[in-house]
């Protein structure tokens, strides 16, 4: 059992969890992830390490609610428990002094690029962080990123804050204007990572992406996380999750991620029904008590 | 003088007491165990067939040399609990081995009765006494030995790791068992399905070694969370036994293999067994319930995958194997059960490519017929494709059960550990000793995919060697 120390909503649908996990915190490196199983009936899902503190013995996860498992995680309160937590998994990002590096984050990836930007900055790189969201109220961790970036650009789909558009737009503008960027990292949803990779390809700027296929064990045992990179099949949990974005077969990744679409919807509906039932019966009980 | 041979003859001709089983039509819709087990009378009856040979050949067939005639004699005398203890002197997991040892190529293959008729059902009897003890006996916890002050780390909680842990704790060492997954048991938990090995049996054995005092650390992926060097140098362990199995799935390497609906047997069985996906949506992990399922391979893993697919509701399950049934490495009982349950065997057949439905899902597999040529190094006749014999089968789920390879996750972090060219750890057979001082290894990660009992044998031999090593070193 792993104790949840902090549980808070960062923005609608995105949740932060700080968990007691001293052994993982001591070993964690940039770019790695953990596999989490909330409860006895839960699914094993991979989540990136958004932060960790070896002294305090904690790790921080940023969770975007998309289905049953992420809902369950977001519903945990401080002092709650997670049944199983394994890691740190995956190969760490290769970082060194590259020069100017763009760190691009979207949805849960805003959390995941923070430690990356921090390390890059620490090694003396010029860090340009670009984060994207649909709207202003969905951006988070601007302050944290500000501290570890030389330049921070926000983009919002509706233009409510910062640049109107997606992370892809200012990046492309910079490249077109001839700005020298030595390396790009993109963490977040599949679609964003693909767009960024396509944008940088014509400029010949190396782009590293953190792939997010379905996983189970995270140790190379099942093969469900297979992705195709440079025409070769790789297991993302042990060979990645970070790969060269220009070599990834994005179509395959997107398709494989939809394997359980029907089942996921069923599972979520069931979970929501249960939650509703639970909430209603609690409300009823309260009413009965008040009457008595 | 004259009567005795008569009596012997009668014994020889008496047929084996069959174990009652769930009806095939009923069992393909549930995950309950297939055979019901013997009643005490049936067990005594079967035991009475044993000739109590002076030089029992059966024992030579058992990799851990269970004292077969003695335990069978105790059954005959109605001393079932004592019989269980007798087995346990050599084999720590009789309830498991009785069920899943390939007896027909081990102990039972050498039973003298097999020459004229059916051999004694040694496996069934072993299962009976173990279940009887668990139900009636109240499992005994031996007295705590004097602590030696030495610490041993065991990596991997499969049958090999469990056996080694049980032996070492009895020698008075402090033992920690590290397991990567959230449940202990290795293949016994994630691979072999409930209907063949009920999980309560494995849980019972794990409880037992916990009661003996073994510390179990789950979610501990060695190589990631700690390296073996850290265990030995910083964490104060005096020796380490590596028994991590051979867990890397092999794929066919043919076009279309990454389509949706194509599983490795490891993934399919892990979802079904470890994650209980057959109970979805009560359990959160999903699994594709195919209507027409193709399984590739001819070993136990393939049989398990095929029979799980049936139980998930498949209308048709094809078992596609490139050699003939005689060459199948699976236990005879599993092949028989698969036939009974209606799995369709497509023998001398090999897949050549998968075809998609335009949306990324597999919808067909193309196969080619094979013919057997000259025997290869393994002594089995080598299959080769017959040109122009290609044909297609409509499927919506495919499962590859072609065996596994060594997972390099841990060994990669140990540059000073000698591996063979296929990535398995090189270890001395009699002791499990590796090229690295204080590090022992055994089970599938040394031998390649083998059997539960051979992994247990390796665990036991390593425990002995670790004992010697600790004595020598301190
Ligand atoms: C290396 C890696 C790091 C990740 N880091 C984060 C993170 O930091 N924060 C975050 O919110 N999300 C992260 N994800 C994605 C996250 O794992 C999925 O969103 C989550 O598993 C969805 O589970 P669910 O039950 O809530 O949703 P579901 O309804 O089950 O699924 C929603 C979608 O998520 C994907 N998914 C489903 N099951 C899995 C699974 N077992 N493994 C991976 N993806 C799955 C599928 O594409 C699916 O369509 C990461 C994924 C990977 C591979
Ligand atoms: C589906 C299936 C059916 C089978 N049927 C039979 C049968 O009927 N009869 C028979 O005799 N044999 C059968 N076998 C083979 C038998 O199960 C294996 O030979 C046996 O389990 C090997 O035992 P082991 O202890 O070496 O490893 P395993 O049982 O593979 O256990 C290894 C354990 O180590 C853990 N591990 C791996 N890496 C690490 C790490 N880095 N850190 C920590 N832990 C780690 C794994 O999670 C696992 O729990 C079957 C195998 C399968 C897959
Ligand atoms: S352990 Fe296996 S091989 Fe040995 S006697 Fe028992 S069933 Fe036979
Ligand atoms: S060889 Fe057969 S008959 Fe003889 S002791 Fe062994 S089990 Fe009994
Ligand atoms: S998640 Fe199972 S092999 Fe990668």
Of B258, B359, B409, the CB nearest to A256: B258
Q: Is-contact B150 B450, C-beta < 8 A?
A: no
pLDDT of B3 higher than 50 = no
pLDDT of residue B405: 92
Q: What percent of chain A has pLDDT over 90?
A: 73
**Residues A275 and A223 grouped into a single domain:** no
Reported as type and span, the H/E element at residue B215 is: strand B215-217
Q: What is the mean pLDDT of residues A141-162?
A: 90
Kindly state the DSSP code that residue B271 receives in the 8-state scheme.
I
**Cα separation, B410 vs B413, whole angstroms:** 6
The beta strands (E) that lie in B429-469 are given as 439-441
Judging by beta carbons within 10 Å of its beta carbon (0-12, 13-18, 19+), is residue A230 exposed, middle or buried? Answer: exposed
Q: Is-contact A112 A105, C-beta < 8 A?
A: yes
pLDDT of residue B89: 83
What the block records as the tokens of A161 is 């804050």
Q: What is the mean pLDDT of residues B399-424?
A: 92
**Residues A8 and A145 grouped into a single domain:** no
- Atom nearest to B52 CA in ligand 4: 5
Number of domains in chain A: 3
pLDDT of B141 higher than 90 = no
A136 belongs to a structural domain: yes
Number of helices (H) and strands (E), helices first, in chain B?
17, 16
- The domain spanning residue A247 has which CATH number? 3.40.50.80
Q: Which residues pair with A164 in a beta bridge?
A: A156
* Residues of chain B found within 8 Å of residue A91, distances taken between Cβ atoms: none
Residue among A23, A219, A221, A238 whose CB has most ligand 2 atoms within 8 A, to mutate: A219
Confidence of residue B11 (pLDDT cuts 50, 70, 90): very low
Confidence of residue B90 (pLDDT cuts 50, 70, 90): confident
Provide the CB-side half-sphere exposure for A47 (13 A, CA): 33
A240 belongs to a structural domain: yes
pLDDT: is B93 or A227 the higher one? A227
Q: With DSSP H G I counted as helix, E B as strand and the rest as coil, what are the percentages for chain A, rounded to 5?
A: 35, 30, 35
Domain finish residue from A89, A109, A129: A89
Q: Is-contact B404 B327, C-beta < 8 A?
A: no
- Atom nearest to B112 CA in ligand 4: 1
Kindly state the DSSP code that residue A47 receives in the 8-state scheme.
E
pLDDT of B412 higher than 90 = yes
Q: What is B339-366 written as a DSSP string?
A: HHHTPEEE-SEEEEEEEE-SSSBEEEEE
Q: Which domain holds residue A187?
A: 100-256
Q: Can you give the three-state secondary structure of B16-79, one letter per residue?
A: CCCCCECCHHHHCCCCCCCECCCCHHHHHHHHCCCCCCCCCHHHHHCCCCCCHHHHHHHHHCCC
Q: What is the mean pLDDT of residues A132-146?
A: 91
**Cα separation, B426 vs B435, whole angstroms:** 7
Reported as type and span, the H/E element at residue B372 is: strand B362-375
A213 belongs to a structural domain: yes
B274-284 pLDDT per residue, tens: 999 999 888 99
Closest listed residue to residue B122, CA positions, set B197, B202, B65:
B65
> What does pTM read for this prediction?
0.92
* Residues of chain A found within 8 Å of residue B218, distances taken between Cβ atoms: 84
Cβ neighbours for B465, distance < 8 A, ≥ 6 positions apart: B430, B431, B432, B433, B440
Confidence of residue A270 (pLDDT cuts 50, 70, 90): confident
Q: Residue B88: what are its φ and ψ, rounded to 5°?
A: -65, -15
Confidence of residue A192 (pLDDT cuts 50, 70, 90): very high
Cβ neighbours for A279, distance < 8 A, ≥ 6 positions apart: none
- Atom nearest to A236 CA in ligand 5: 4
Closest listed residue to residue B194, CA positions, set B346, B308, B313, B97:
B308
Confidence of residue A3 (pLDDT cuts 50, 70, 90): very high
- Taking only Cα atoms into account, the Rg of chain B, rounded to an integer number of angstroms, comes to 23
Q: What is the mean pLDDT of residues B72-98?
A: 90
**Residues A202 and A175 grouped into a single domain:** yes
Give the gap in angstroms from C-alpha A202 to the nearest C-alpha of chain B: 28
Residue among B70, B106, B124, B452 whose CB has most ligand 3 atoms within 8 A, to mutate: B106
**Residues A104 and A241 grouped into a single domain:** yes
A18 belongs to a structural domain: yes
Determine if ligand 1 sits within 6 Å of the CB of residue A32.
no
**Cα separation, B246 vs B450, whole angstroms:** 9
pLDDT of residue B14: 81
b (16+ CB within 10 A) / e for B364-376: bbbbbbbebeeee
Domain finish residue from A89, A114, A149: A89
A129-138, A283-292, B248-257: lowest mean pLDDT where? A283-292
**Residues A125 and A18 grouped into a single domain:** no
Q: What is the mean pLDDT of residues B29-43?
A: 90
Confidence of residue A271 (pLDDT cuts 50, 70, 90): confident
pLDDT of B225 higher than 80 = yes
Confidence of residue A218 (pLDDT cuts 50, 70, 90): very high
Q: Which residues pair with B1 in a beta bridge?
A: none
A93-115 pLDDT per residue, tens: 999 999 999 999 998 999 999 99
pLDDT of A172 higher than 50 = yes
* Residues of chain A found within 8 Å of residue B280, distances taken between Cβ atoms: 263, 267
A283-292, B110-119, B208-217: lowest mean pLDDT where? A283-292
Determine if ligand 3 sits within 6 Å of the CB of residue B453.
yes
Confidence of residue B139 (pLDDT cuts 50, 70, 90): low
A166 belongs to a structural domain: yes
**Residues A202 and A278 grouped into a single domain:** no
- Interface predicted TM-score (ipTM) of this complex, two decimals: 0.92
Pocket of ligand 5 (CB under 6 A): A 215-218, 220-225, 235, 237
- Report A:192-231 residues touching B (Cβ under 8 A): 216-217, 219-224, 226, 228
Q: Is-contact B381 B327, C-beta < 8 A?
A: yes
Residue among A36, A43, A215 whose CB has most ligand 5 atoms within 8 A, to mutate: A215
**Residues A30 and A107 grouped into a single domain:** no
A13 three-state secondary structure = coil
- The domain spanning residue A81 has which CATH number? 2.40.30.10
**Residues A244 and A271 grouped into a single domain:** no
Q: Is-contact A98 A125, C-beta < 8 A?
A: yes
A223 belongs to a structural domain: yes
pLDDT of residue B335: 94
**Cα separation, A245 vs A201, whole angstroms:** 9
B171 C-alpha to ligand 3 centroid (Å): 24
**Cα separation, B181 vs A256, whole angstroms:** 24
**Residues A244 and A282 grouped into a single domain:** no
Pick the residue whose CA is nearest to atom 3 on ligand 5: A220
pLDDT of residue B398: 96
B160-214 pLDDT per residue, tens: 999 999 999 989 999 999 999 999 999 999 999 999 999 999 998 898 889 889 9
**Residues A127 and A203 grouped into a single domain:** yes
* Residues of chain A found within 8 Å of residue B224, distances taken between Cβ atoms: 27, 87-89
**Residues A30 and A110 grouped into a single domain:** no
B295 three-state secondary structure = strand
Q: What percent of chain B has pLDDT over 90?
A: 66
A95 belongs to a structural domain: no
B445-464 pLDDT per residue, tens: 999 988 999 999 999 999 99
pLDDT of residue B138: 67
A198 belongs to a structural domain: yes
Residue among B19, B58, B97, B110 whose CB has most ligand 3 atoms within 8 A, to mutate: B97
Give the gap in angstroms from C-alpha B157 to the nearest C-alpha of chain A: 15
Q: What percent of chain B has pLDDT over 70?
A: 96
Domain finish residue from A59, A89, A119: A89
**Cα separation, A169 vs A162, whole angstroms:** 12
pLDDT of residue B93: 87
Closest listed residue to residue B106, CA positions, set B125, B82, B126, B122:
B122
Of A41, A83, A223, the CB nearest to B283: A41
Pick the residue whose CA is nearest to atom 8 on ligand 4: B50
- Tally the residues of chain A: 292
Of B267, B270, B286, the CB nearest to A263: B286
Cβ neighbours for A104, distance < 8 A, ≥ 6 positions apart: A113, A129, A130, A131, A132, A167, A171, A184, A185, A186, A187, A188, A192, A196
Ligand nearest to the CA of B89: 3
Q: What is the mean pLDDT of residues B326-342?
A: 90
Tell whether A41 lies on the interface with B, counting CB pairs under 8 A. yes
Ligand nearest to the CA of B57: 4
- Atom nearest to A112 CA in ligand 1: 8
Ligand nearest to the CA of B114: 4
Closest listed residue to residue B331, CA positions, set B164, B99, B139:
B99
pLDDT of residue B6: 46
Give the gap in angstroms from C-alpha A127 to the nearest C-alpha of chain B: 29
pLDDT of B144 higher than 90 = no
B450 C-alpha to ligand 2 centroid (Å): 9
pLDDT of residue B2: 42
**Residues A144 and A268 grouped into a single domain:** no
pLDDT of residue B13: 61
Determine if ligand 3 sits within 6 Å of the CB of residue B97.
yes
**Cα separation, B199 vs B266, whole angstroms:** 17
pLDDT of residue B327: 86
Q: What is the mean pLDDT of residues A230-244?
A: 94
- Atom nearest to B225 CA in ligand 2: 42
Average pLDDT, whole number, for chain B?
90
Contact A222 B275 (CB under 8 A): no
What the block records as the tokens of B141 is 């916890």
B47-76 pLDDT per residue, tens: 999 999 999 999 999 988 899 999 999 999
């Amino acid at each position: 059992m792993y104790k949840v120390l902090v549980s808070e909503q960062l923005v609608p649908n995105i949740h932060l969890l700080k968990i007691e996990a001293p052994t993982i915190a001591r070993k964690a490196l940039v770019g790695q992830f953990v596999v989490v199983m909330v409860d006895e009936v839960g699914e094993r899902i991979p989540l990136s390490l958004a932060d960790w503190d070896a002294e305090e013995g904690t790790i921080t996860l940023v969770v975007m609610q998309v289905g049953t498992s992420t809902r369950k995680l977001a519903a945990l309160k401080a002092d709650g428990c997670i049944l199983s937590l394994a890691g740190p998994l995956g190969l760490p990002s290769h970082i060194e002094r590259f020069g100017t590096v763009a760190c691009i984050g979207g949805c849960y990836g805003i959390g995941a690029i923070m430690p990356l930007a921090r390390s890059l900055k620490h090694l003396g790189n010029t860090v340009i962080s670009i984060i994207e969201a649909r709207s202003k109220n969905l951006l988070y961790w601007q302050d944290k990123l500000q501290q570890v970036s030389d330049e921070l650009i926000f983009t919002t789909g509706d233009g409510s804050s910062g640049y109107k558009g997606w992370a892809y737009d200012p990046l492309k503008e910079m490249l077109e204007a001839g700005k020298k960027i030595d390396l790009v990292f993109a963490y977040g949803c599949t679609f964003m990572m693909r767009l960024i990779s396509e944008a940088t390809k014509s400029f010949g700027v190396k782009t590293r992406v953190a792939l997010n296929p379905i996983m189970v064990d995270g140790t190379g045992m099942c093969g469900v996380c297979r992705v195709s990179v440079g025409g070769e099949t790789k297991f993302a949990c042990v060979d990645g999750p970070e790969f060269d974005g220009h070599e990834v077969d994005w179509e395959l990744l997107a398709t494989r991620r939809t394997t359980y679409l029907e089942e996921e919807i069923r599972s979520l509906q069931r979970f929501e029904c249960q939650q509703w039932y639970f909430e209603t019966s609690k409300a009823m009980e309260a009413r009965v008590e008040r009457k008595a | 003088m004259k009567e005795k041979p008569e009596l012997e003859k009668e014994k020889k001709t008496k047929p084996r007491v069959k174990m009652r089983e769930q009806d095939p039509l009923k069992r393909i819709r549930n995950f309950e165990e297939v055979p019901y087990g013997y009643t005490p009378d049936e067990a005594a009856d079967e035991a009475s067939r044993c000739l109590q040979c002076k030089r029992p050949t059966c024992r030579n067939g058992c990799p851990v040399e269970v004292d077969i005639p003695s335990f069978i004699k105790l059954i005959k005398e109605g001393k079932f609990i004592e019989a269980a203890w007798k087995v346990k002197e050599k084999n720590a997991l009789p309830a498991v081995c009785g069920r899943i040892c390939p007896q027909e190529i081990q102990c039972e293959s050498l039973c003298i009765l097999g020459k004229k008729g059916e051999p004694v059902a040694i496996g069934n009897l072993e299962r009976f006494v173990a279940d009887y003890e668990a139900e009636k006996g109240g499992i005994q916890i031996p007295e705590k030995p004097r602590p030696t002050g030495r610490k041993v780390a065991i990596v991997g909680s499969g049958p090999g790791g469990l056996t080694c842990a049980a032996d070492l704790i009895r020698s008075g060492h402090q033992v920690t068992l590290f397991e990567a997954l959230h449940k202990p048991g290795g293949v016994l938990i994630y691979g072999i399905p409930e209907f063949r090995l009920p999980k309560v049996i494995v849980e019972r054995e794990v409880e037992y070694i916990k009661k003996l005092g073994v510390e179990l650390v789950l979610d501990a992926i060695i190589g990631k969370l700690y390296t073996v060097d850290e265990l030995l140098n910083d964490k104060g362990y005096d020796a380490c036994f590596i028994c991590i199995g051979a867990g890397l799935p092999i794929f066919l390497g043919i076009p279309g293999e990454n389509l949706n609906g194509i599983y490795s047997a490891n993934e399919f069985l892990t979802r079904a067994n470890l994650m209980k996906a057959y109970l979805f949506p009560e359990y959160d992990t999903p699994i594709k319930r195919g209507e027409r399922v193709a399984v590739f391979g001819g070993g136990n893993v393939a049989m398990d995958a095929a029979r799980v697919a049936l139980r998930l509701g498949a209308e048709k399950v094809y078992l596609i194997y490139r050699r003939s049934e005689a060459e199948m490495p699976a236990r005879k009982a599993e092949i028989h059960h698969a036939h009974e349950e209606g799995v369709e065997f497509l023998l001398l057949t090999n897949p050549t490519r998968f075809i998609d439905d335009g949306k990324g899902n597999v919808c067909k597999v193309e196969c080619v017929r094979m013919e057997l040529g000259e025997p290869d190094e393994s002594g089995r006749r080598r299959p080769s494709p017959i040109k122009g014999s290609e044909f297609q089968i409509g499927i919506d789920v495919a499962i590859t059960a072609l065996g596994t390879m060594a997972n390099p996750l841990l060994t990669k972090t140990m540059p000073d550990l000698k591996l063979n060219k296929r990535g398995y750890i090189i270890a001395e057979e009699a002791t499990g000793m590796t090229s690295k001082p204080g590090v022992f290894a055994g089970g599938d990660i040394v031998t390649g995919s083998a059997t539960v009992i051979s992994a247990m044998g390796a665990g036991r031999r390593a425990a002995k060697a670790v004992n010697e090593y600790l004595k020598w070193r301190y």
